[in-house]
Chain A
């Protein structure tokens, strides 16, 4: 009984997801709502605003430079965490012998 209920609930969710997927606009359609005035602005004005022909580089290092700074911070944090875990040179308390961290 319980299993039948779970199957029914999951199947209903699957049907909802498939039906909403069918309503999605096709990939690459220029009338998609994601192609709004922001993309138009980037494509039309990036050359005169930054004088760099590579639009992708302009977006990731100029228009969204704070996002890239966040990515660099993620790298920094990850390397700090890895160094903290891996390069523990000193012996742990209560541990004798020549075992190193």
Chain B
């Protein structure tokens, strides 16, 4: 799409969309939202960028190898967090007894591994959406 208005407006609005997505992810244990919607918002911002500026620039912004790494890394991070429970002598994915920082309720750094897991889910969902979209766009380009 080669439209000046669309490009200008999306250039202005994308940082706010991404900030909102990060807010939703990091406040997953305090407010409605969490990893899945926050990751979807982050992925939608990159999809908007690709739609406004074309597939080539979208690939430069979010290359394939980076999103693949993010995807595998997020799920590995989740499993490693679960393994901490086994390491300290409890069950898989143990939260409080495994010694995670609990904090006081209502603050961002609280709740043990819940924010860490939410971040992992957010990265996973966002990179999955981006990888799917870019793969399909590429396919259309080739045909």
Contact = CB atoms under 8 A, between A and B. Distances in A.
Interface residues of A, number: 28
B128 interface: yes
Interface in B103-139: 103-106, 110-114, 117-118, 120-121, 124-125, 128, 131-132, 135-136, 138-139
Contacts of B35: 61
Contact of A51 (B71, B72, B104): B104
Interface string B39-53: 000000000000000
Given A79-B131, A82-B132, A100-B142, A54 B28 contact: yes
Contact of B131 (A52, A58, A60, A83): A83
Contact of A69 (B93, B112, B131): B93
B102 interface: yes
Contacts, number: 103
Interface of A is mostly: helix
Contact of B30 (A47, A54, A86): A54
A99 B26 CA distance: 45
A73 interface: yes
B121 A68 contact: yes
B139 A61 contact: no
A76 B105 contact: no
Contacts of B143: 100
B95 to A, nearest CB: 5
Interface in B52-89: 71-72, 74-75, 78-79, 82
A9 interface: no
Residue among A54, A60, A78 facing the most chain B CB atoms (10 A cut-off): A54
Contacts of A76: 71-72, 75, 124, 128
Nearest to B110: A51
Contacts of A79: 71, 128, 131-132
Contacts of A73: 75
A72 to B, nearest CB: 5
B98 to A, nearest CB: 11
A56 B128 CA distance: 23
A53 B29 CA distance: 7
Interface of A: 47, 49-54, 56-58, 60-62, 65-66, 68-69, 72-73, 75-76, 78-79, 82-83, 86-87, 100
